[in-house]
């Protein structure tokens, strides 16, 4: 089985597992905590990178799944006509289509072979996609493609986990060093985020404050948020946008 077929089979297995589906439902305090703390850090990093307001930028999410992060991007101010998402799985793109405004562009595509011209986007995101890809060659191709479609002066935003949880052979953690090596020509800024989900699952329903305090300790955080700039003096987006 090639890697793309393996990924398709793995996601079909997950979709058929109701326990797994319930684990990620937004009604759960642990899910709310993880998403809300991530949101704060992402917004802070975007602001520091000069990517505010978002509606001045062409944005692509690679591996957008059912569109949850794209909905966040719209809430944060992205222009739907400049917001694009792609995913390997047609059923996930169909679900994203139902959730997102018709002016957003959604495409079924492999991240290792993106159907966009070079330099098309100011901001290219990947949120927990690379850890679904076990084949190092496909990871490499996907990073190469994300970099290719990024405009000079643009930014890749990476969010993924660095610790391997037990009992999930369908994913593989990516250490910060490997993530940075995938984009060797960028300037990297890094934050540790997301209090370890096994802790949040136990604690969030009893003490939000306890979660907040523990989340302030980088050693207990399992994910990396990395901002990677395509270093050039060229200004991304509209001509009046300050350099990032």
Ligand X SMILES: C[S@@+](CC[C@H](N)C(=O)[O-])C[C@H]1O[C@@H](n2cnc3c(N)ncnc32)[C@H](O)[C@@H]1O
Determine which residue in the list 43, 71, 89, 199 makes contact with ligand X, applying CB under 6 A: 89
Q: Which is nearer to ligand X, 105 or 128 (CB)?
A: 128
Q: Is 80 exposed, middle or buried (CB count within 10 Å of its CB: 0-12, 13-18, 19+)?
A: middle
Asked if 87 interacts with ligand X (CB under 6 A), we say: yes
The residue range among 85-93, 172-180, 182-190, 198-206 that interacts with ligand X, by the rule CB under 6 A, is: 85-93
* Pair 114, 144: CB distance under 8 Å: no
Q: Is 237 exposed, middle or buried (CB count within 10 Å of its CB: 0-12, 13-18, 19+)?
A: buried
Output the six-digit token pair for 157: 């935003």
Asked if 161 interacts with ligand X (CB under 6 A), we say: no
Q: Which is nearer to ligand X, 112 or 153 (CB)?
A: 112
What are the φ and ψ backbone dihedral angles of 76, each rounded to 5 degrees?
-85, 0
Residue 87 Cα to chain centre, angstroms: 12
Determine which residue in the list 41, 42, 83, 110 makes contact with ligand X, applying CB under 6 A: 110
Asked if 111 interacts with ligand X (CB under 6 A), we say: yes
Q: Which is nearer to ligand X, 132 or 230 (CB)?
A: 132
How far apart CA 133 and CA 3 sit, in angstroms, is 8
Determine which residue in the list 33, 121, 127, 183 makes contact with ligand X, applying CB under 6 A: 127
Q: Which is nearer to ligand X, 7 or 123 (CB)?
A: 7
Asked if 226 interacts with ligand X (CB under 6 A), we say: no
Q: Which is nearer to ligand X, 128 or 189 (CB)?
A: 128
Site string for ligand X, 30-69 (x = CB under 6 A): ---------------------------------xxx--xx
Q: Where are the beta strands (DSSP E) in the chain?
A: 59-62, 83-87, 105-108, 121-127, 150-161, 186-195, 221-230
77 three-class SS:
coil
For binding to ligand X (CB under 6 A), which residues are involved?
Answer: 7, 11, 63-65, 68-69, 87-89, 92, 110-112, 127-129, 132-133, 142
């Amino acid at each position: 089985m090639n890697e793309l077929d393996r990924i398709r089979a793995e996601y079909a297995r997950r979709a058929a597992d109701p326990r797994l589906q319930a684990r990620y439902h937004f009604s759960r305090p642990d899910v709310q905590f993880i998403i809300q703390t991530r949101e704060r850090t992402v917004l802070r990093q975007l602001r520091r990178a000069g990517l505010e307001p978002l509606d001045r930028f062409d944005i692509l999410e690679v591996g957008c799944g059912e569109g949850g992060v794209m909905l966040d991007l719209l809430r944060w101010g992205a222009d739907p006509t400049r917001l694009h998402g792609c995913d390997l799985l047609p059923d996930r793109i169909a679900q994203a289509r139902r959730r997102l405004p018709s002016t957003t562009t959604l495409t079924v595509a492999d991240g290792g072979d993106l159907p966009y011209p070079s330099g098309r986007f100011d901001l290219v995101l990947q949120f927990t996609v690379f850890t679904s890809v076990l084949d190092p060659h496909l990871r490499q191709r996907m990073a190469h493609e994300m970099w290719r479609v990024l405009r000079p002066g643009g930014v890749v935003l990476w969010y993924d986990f660095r610790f391997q949880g037990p009992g999930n052979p369908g994913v593989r953690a990516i250490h910060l060093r490997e993530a940075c090596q995938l984009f060797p020509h960028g300037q990297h800024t890094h934050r540790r985020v997301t209090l370890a989900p096994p802790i949040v699952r136990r604690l969030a329903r009893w003490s939000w404050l306890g979660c907040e305090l523990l989340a302030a300790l980088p050693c207990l955080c399992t994910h990396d948020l990395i901002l990677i700039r395509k270093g050039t003096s060229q200004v991304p987006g509209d001509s009046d946008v300050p350099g990032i």
